[in-house]
Chains A and B, each alone.
Chain A
Amino acid sequence: MLETARRSLRFRNLLTTLTRREIQARYRGSVLGFFWSLFNPLLLVLVYSVVFGLILTPERGSGLDPYPLFLIAGLFPWIWASTSLLESTVSLQAHAGLVRKAVFPVELPPLVAVLSNLVHLLFALPIVLLALLVGRILGYAVGGWALLLFPLVVVLQLPLVAGLALALAALNALFKDVRDLVSNLLTLTFFLTPILYPVSALPWPEARPWMLLNPFAPFTLAYQHILFHGTAPPVYLWLLMALDSTVAWALGAWIFSRLRDTLVEMA
């Protein structure tokens, strides 16, 4: 697992170049270009805000206002994670030309998927900050100094997403079923993660701790602490995040390294 990390670092030149290429290529030929990385998540926020903020207004408990800001806090990082995983699952096939025909470290395509989507998240940050500013002006206690912890959570989440990305990319080369499985699992995970609702909204209090088994839950809660509540995440969340990330990276890197030799032939 350290070996995979070392290899990836050794090829960081290539990693940055390919990530840049991925980002450049995505919006080539579209009029609005990179603004789509802002509009796409914003549109989603709008839809959920209307559906769960205006049409369905269940007893979410108090303290969720303004609801769009609560949504943004959990949704933007989730979009990074889920898009990364979807793209990395098929990344070896998408880069088949490179993987099969060039002297090329195979771990790069899944990592490029994760990094290029991270860049999209960073592009969207000004919008998040603007929204928080508006929230402040309207008198809500969102944002604040806790915002400085945001990069730390992102850095902690990177090994989690990257580890899963490596595992999924490797497994999808062997079993094409993985892609369909992943897209369904992601939808499921989205609703199991407290993004649209707070953990306290669960009608069965005894089930609440179990939610934290979902590795995305501690991160979502941490983002909500930092962006929405304006408070530092509690220690147990930091520990969970570190644990989830370490385990996911170790597992993903191990699976990938075990299958590496076959990936070139099967991509």
Chain B
Amino acid sequence: MSDGKPAPIRVQGLGKRYRRMTAGAHLRTLKSALMDGSLLGGLREEETIEALKEIDFEVGRGEAFGVIGGNGSGKSTLLKIVAGILQPTTGQVVVDGRVAALIELGAGFHPEISGRENVFINGTLLGLTRAEIEAQYASIVAFSGLEAFMEEPVKNYSSGMYVRLGFAVAVHTDPDVLLVDEVLSVGDEAFGHRCVRRMEELLAAGKTMLLVSHSLDLVSRLCDRVLWLEQGEQRLLASPRRTIDAYRQSVADAEGREHQQEQEQEQREAEEAGTERWGSGAARITAVRLLCGGEEEPDRERYLVVCGDPLTFEIQVETTIPLEDFVFGIAVATPREVEVWGTNTDLHGLEAVRLEGKATVRIECPELRLGPGEYTVDIAVHARDGAPYDYRRRVVRFTVTAPERGAGVYFPRHRWHFEGGVACRPRPRSPEE
């Protein structure tokens, strides 16, 4: 965009309405198409479904633009309209330059004929001339890693091989604009890496990319900006980190609501069975919440945490009789009950003074360095000798995401150093903005 030329992808006020096809609607569609040239004219409101409404964005030269959202949010429709496969109902979409749409890799492969011949057909489909394909052929085959199978009919290929060949052809078309829809999930890990590297190379070479994916990791790794679609509407268009976090939070919230009743039900049953909650009841834990902590919005509840963020565990407790002998404890574990962290006021060197009426206890962690994954929390209040007043197992859960991947439950702050005959450099595109 900095070079003053218009952005290669420009989407303005885009809306798409699909027709629900009922028996009578076919006839009316035909009639209205032939009489007034409009496909929707003859249809009533309830016979159409709005897949996209009022979408506006531009993707600049060399920019990688991600689109995320749940199933049925309109992501693929958007991509197909940008690719020119579907026509918009309202608004305008302009795309400049040669487009390679990786929507279904190997779309157009003919099962009965050889991989070699299919490369030529697929290449022609993507706009290459025969001479151009011949020039690129060796490189395409090498990229796909299918040297030994090129003379084999593609019906004998595995689905992974199919995708590899399709991707190899597509990225060799020297596209100006690359449209990618969730295509890399089929190949194996090694090929997936090779594809991502290739996409990074294309981006570094100033190509423009529109990526639709459920893989938030991939989106945050590749993209400069991310659009979140929900039921065809533009929810948020911002940096990958902001959009993805907002999206995850919303998914977690929705799941939370969904699972809340379920969990409460489970909890009640467990309480009755005495496996999830036990104790004398001299003190009762009435609520446990997780709060953002930190400085910005310390009191906002949050169950989705980015590794390294602050987090506060808040415990509401009640007693009917004043207590002088008590210990508050917390234990964090993975869903498979691997203990990750546990401590209590006694271990922390705190001596009980009094506990009466209603009280709030907070455990503040300024920096939670857990690895990505799901965690459960046990909270207990008990006597110094261990006799429980109220022990609540798995009273709350939370999810941790991390900007970089890794294994395990602990993510210390770290840095790599190299000396002597070794050198590394950051990948052309670093994960975050």
Q: Is A100 an interface residue (CB 8 A)?
A: yes
**Distance in Å: Cβ of A24 to nearest Cβ of chain B:** 5
Contacts of A98 in B (CB 8 A): 107-108, 125
Contacts of A264 in B (CB 8 A): 85-86
Other-chain contact of A174, B30, B124, B126 (Cβ < 8 Å)? B30
Q: Is A200 an interface residue (CB 8 A)?
A: no
**Distance in Å: Cβ of A106 to nearest Cβ of chain B:** 9
Q: Mark A84-102, 1 if CB is under 8 A from B, else 0.
A: 0000000000000110111
Contacting A at CB under 8 A, from B213-243, are none
Other-chain contact of A103, B33, B84, B153 (Cβ < 8 Å)? B84
Bound Cα distance from A126 to B26, whole angstroms: 46
Q: Is A261 an interface residue (CB 8 A)?
A: yes
Q: Is A255 an interface residue (CB 8 A)?
A: yes
Bound Cα distance from A28 to B152, whole angstroms: 12
Q: A101-B104, A103-B101, A264-B86 are contacts. A17–B110 as well, Cβ < 8 Å?
A: no
Q: Is B34 an interface residue (CB 8 A)?
A: yes
Q: Is A175 an interface residue (CB 8 A)?
A: yes
Q: Mark B27-50, 1 if CB is under 8 A from A, else 0.
A: 001100110010100000000000
Q: Mark A210-243, 1 if CB is under 8 A from B, else 0.
A: 0000000000000000000000000000000000
**Distance in Å: Cβ of A240 to nearest Cβ of chain B:** 26
Bound Cα distance from A97 to B105, whole angstroms: 10
Determine, out of B112-120, B134-142, B264-272, B362-370, the stretch whose residues face the partner at the interface: B112-120
Contacts of B125 in A (CB 8 A): 14, 17, 98, 102, 104
Contacting B at CB under 8 A, from A242-259, are 255, 258-259
Other-chain contact of B110, A25, A175, A262, A266 (Cβ < 8 Å)? A25
Contacts of B18 in A (CB 8 A): 265
Q: Which residue of A lies closest to B103 (CB)?
A: A101
**Distance in Å: Cβ of A178 to nearest Cβ of chain B:** 11
Bound Cα distance from A261 to B110, whole angstroms: 25
Q: Is B343 an interface residue (CB 8 A)?
A: no
Bound Cα distance from A259 to B19, whole angstroms: 13
Bound Cα distance from A101 to B110, whole angstroms: 14
Contacting A at CB under 8 A, from B70-90, are 83-87
Contacts of A175 in B (CB 8 A): 26, 30
Q: Which residue of B lies closest to A171 (CB)?
A: B30
Q: Is A136 an interface residue (CB 8 A)?
A: no
Q: Is B121 an interface residue (CB 8 A)?
A: yes
**Distance in Å: Cβ of B360 to nearest Cβ of chain A:** 57
Q: Is B306 an interface residue (CB 8 A)?
A: no
Q: Is B129 an interface residue (CB 8 A)?
A: yes
Bound Cα distance from A264 to B85, whole angstroms: 7
Counting chain A CB atoms within 10 Å of each CB, the highest count among B19, B104, B107 belongs to: B107
Q: Is A57 an interface residue (CB 8 A)?
A: no
Please state if B113 and A25 are interface contacts (CB–CB under 8 Å): yes
Contacts of B33 in A (CB 8 A): 258-259, 262
Contacts of B203 in A (CB 8 A): none
Contacts of B110 in A (CB 8 A): 21, 25
Q: Is B292 an interface residue (CB 8 A)?
A: no
Contacting B at CB under 8 A, from A99-128, are 100-104
Please state if A13 and B117 are interface contacts (CB–CB under 8 Å): no
Q: Is B99 an interface residue (CB 8 A)?
A: yes
Q: Is A18 an interface residue (CB 8 A)?
A: yes
Q: Is A29 an interface residue (CB 8 A)?
A: yes
Bound Cα distance from A261 to B18, whole angstroms: 11
Q: Interface extent on B, as a size class?
A: 20 to 34
Please state if B108 and A97 are interface contacts (CB–CB under 8 Å): yes
Contacts of A104 in B (CB 8 A): 85, 108, 125
Please state if B104 and A102 are interface contacts (CB–CB under 8 Å): yes
Bound Cα distance from A17 to B26, whole angstroms: 33
Contacts of A24 in B (CB 8 A): 112-113, 117
Q: A25-B113, A104-B85, A258-B37 are contacts. A13–B124 as well, Cβ < 8 Å?
A: yes
Please state if A102 and B85 are interface contacts (CB–CB under 8 Å): yes
**Distance in Å: Cβ of A103 to nearest Cβ of chain B:** 5
Please state if B121 and A18 are interface contacts (CB–CB under 8 Å): yes
Please state if A102 and B108 are interface contacts (CB–CB under 8 Å): yes
Please state if B34 and A255 are interface contacts (CB–CB under 8 Å): yes
Bound Cα distance from A13 to B21, whole angstroms: 35
Bound Cα distance from A157 to B126, whole angstroms: 31
Bound Cα distance from A24 to B130, whole angstroms: 17
Contacts of A174 in B (CB 8 A): 26, 29-30
Contacts of A21 in B (CB 8 A): 110, 113, 117, 121
**Distance in Å: Cβ of B186 to nearest Cβ of chain A:** 14
Contacting B at CB under 8 A, from A49-100, are 97-98, 100
Please state if B124 and A29 are interface contacts (CB–CB under 8 Å): no
Please state if A97 and B104 are interface contacts (CB–CB under 8 Å): yes
Bound Cα distance from A104 to B112, whole angstroms: 21
**Distance in Å: Cβ of A126 to nearest Cβ of chain B:** 25
Bound Cα distance from A174 to B125, whole angstroms: 26
**Distance in Å: Cβ of A46 to nearest Cβ of chain B:** 29
Q: A174-B29, A175-B26, A264-B86 are contacts. A17–B34 as well, Cβ < 8 Å?
A: no
Bound Cα distance from A266 to B19, whole angstroms: 10
Please state if B107 and A102 are interface contacts (CB–CB under 8 Å): yes
Please state if B84 and A13 are interface contacts (CB–CB under 8 Å): no
Contacts of B113 in A (CB 8 A): 21, 24-25, 28
**Distance in Å: Cβ of A256 to nearest Cβ of chain B:** 11
Bound Cα distance from A21 to B114, whole angstroms: 10
Contacts of B29 in A (CB 8 A): 174, 262
Please list the 4 inter-chain residue pairs (A to B) with the smallest Cβ-Cβ separation, ordered nearest first: A101-B104, A101-B107, A25-B112, A28-B112
A selection of 7 A-B contacts at a CB cut-off of 8 Å is A13-B124, A21-B117, A28-B153, A175-B30, A258-B33, A262-B19, A265-B19
- B-binding residues in A (CB < 8 A): 13-14, 17-18, 21, 24-25, 28-29, 97-98, 100-104, 171, 174-175, 255, 258-259, 261-262, 264-266
Given A14-B124, A264-B86, 5 more pairs with CB closer than 8 A: A102-B103, A175-B26, A255-B34, A261-B87, A262-B19
